[in-house]
Amino acid sequence: MKRLSLFALLLGLGLGLTPLMAQNKNVPSRVGFVDADALIQAHPDYKKVQDVQAQAKKELSPLEEKLKPLDQKVRSGQASAKERQDYEALMKTYQSTLEKWRERQNQALKPILEDVDRAIAKVAQAQGFSVVMSRQVAAQSGLVVYASNDTDLTQVVIQELKR
C-alpha cells in the first residue's frame, strides 16, 4: 500500500509539473559570465575613477604614515595618554577623509556601472542569454563549479562599450 501511494504521489507530481515546464519552452536559458572588473576598467571614462583614486591616495598616504607608529604603540599598550588621544583624533580624520574619497569614487563609478549594465543587457539579449553573472562572484560563492569558455561575454561587452 505504501509503495502504491508513493508511486501515485510521484506520478501526480510529474503530471502536475508538465504544464509548467511546457510554458517555458520558448524562454532562452543560457547563462553567461563577465569579468566585471575588466568591463569597468575598459570603460572610456575609467580614467576619471583612476584620477579620483590617485587624489585619494595622495591625501590618505600621509595620514597612514602618521597612524602606523601610533597604532603599533596603542596595540602594544605602550602608548601614553597623549599618544592615544592623538591616535584617536588622527583615526577620525583618516576615516572621514576615506569616506569623502569613497563618495567621490562612487560618483565617478555610477555612470560607468550604468553603461556597463546596459551593455551587458544589450549583448545578452542579442546573443540569447537569459542570465549574466559576474565570473568572480560565481567562483567565490561556489554557485558555479564549471562554465564553458563560450559563455564568457566579457570581450563582446567591451566592444559594445567602445561604440
Contacts of 147 (CB under 8 A, 6+ apart): 31, 33, 135, 138
CATH class of 18-161: alpha beta
Question: Is residue 147 pLDDT above 60, yes or no?
Answer: yes
Average pLDDT over residues 104-109: 97
pLDDT by residue (tens digit) across 80-97? 999 999 999 999 999 999
| Residue, of 143 and 130, whose pLDDT is higher | 130
Percent of the chain exceeding pLDDT 70 equals 83
Predicted confidence at residue 2, as pLDDT, reads: 42
Task: Show the cell assigned to 71.
Answer: 597604532
Q: Which alpha helices (H) appear in 24-141, and where do they start and end?
A: 36-42, 46-76, 81-127, 135-141
The domain segmentation of the chain, as residue ranges, is 18-161
